[in-house]
Amino acid sequence: MIYGERIRFRRAEKTDIPLFMEWINDPEVTKGLTIYLPMGLWEEEEWFAGLAKCPQAERPLVVEVPDGDSWRAIGNVSVFNIDAVVRSAEVGIMLGDKTIWNQGYGTETMRLLLKHGFEALNLNRIQLYVYEKNIWAIRAYEKVGFVHEGRRREAHYKNGKYEDILTMSVLRSEWKKEMEL
């Protein structure tokens, strides 16, 4: 387990598939994600089985919050496209439980993911892509130190409209400086 203040990360299990299905088939959740078609159970199972071939560090982690004596899943995160030479990687977040939105969980999740990326995986650069209209996600990323570094114009198309994709990143030196404050 990887523990934060109010959350923890654990390995995703096969039994999480029905919950993932619920989230990725909810248009409100996927509004800011690349997913734009309904996902079938067999497709999700195929994706999950394929994870066995991914490096362990690139397999998704489930984000959980305490719930009575137990823990409850609220979303997932992943680190992927790890470049061993540059020591860089991409990250992604999906908090599918809408009841916890706008309570700082996205911000805390990204903070813990950065700690994991820099301290456990020894990365030097962590980057992500976000759609320009996902102001909410952008705000959470800015709060944990992600810096805007570029814009791919009209690189995304969803619901009949083109949208720009923003690139944001955090370098280990910037993150360390912030940790020391």
Ligand X SMILES: CC(C)(COP(=O)(O)OP(=O)(O)OC[C@H]1O[C@@H](n2cnc3c(N)ncnc32)[C@H](O)[C@@H]1OP(=O)(O)O)[C@@H](O)C(=O)NCCC(=O)NCCS
Among 7, 32, 65, 125, binds ligand X (CB under 6 A): 32
d(Cα 13, Cα 36) in Å, to the nearest integer?
24
Q: Are 137 and 146 in contact (CB under 8 A)?
A: no
Among 33, 121, 165, 171, binds ligand X (CB under 6 A): 33
Among 95, 112, 166, 168, binds ligand X (CB under 6 A): 95
Nearest of 29, 64, 60 to residue 44 by alpha carbon:
60
d(Cα 96, Cα 30) in Å, to the nearest integer?
9
Residue 61 within binding range of ligand X, rule CB under 6 A: no
Residue 112 within binding range of ligand X, rule CB under 6 A: no
d(Cα 133, Cα 97) in Å, to the nearest integer?
20
Among 105, 118, 146, 175, binds ligand X (CB under 6 A): 105
Tokens of 94: 């999906």
Residue 140 within binding range of ligand X, rule CB under 6 A: yes
Residues of the shown chain interacting with ligand X in the complex, contacts defined by CB under 6 A: 29, 32-33, 75, 93-95, 101-107, 130, 134-137, 139-140
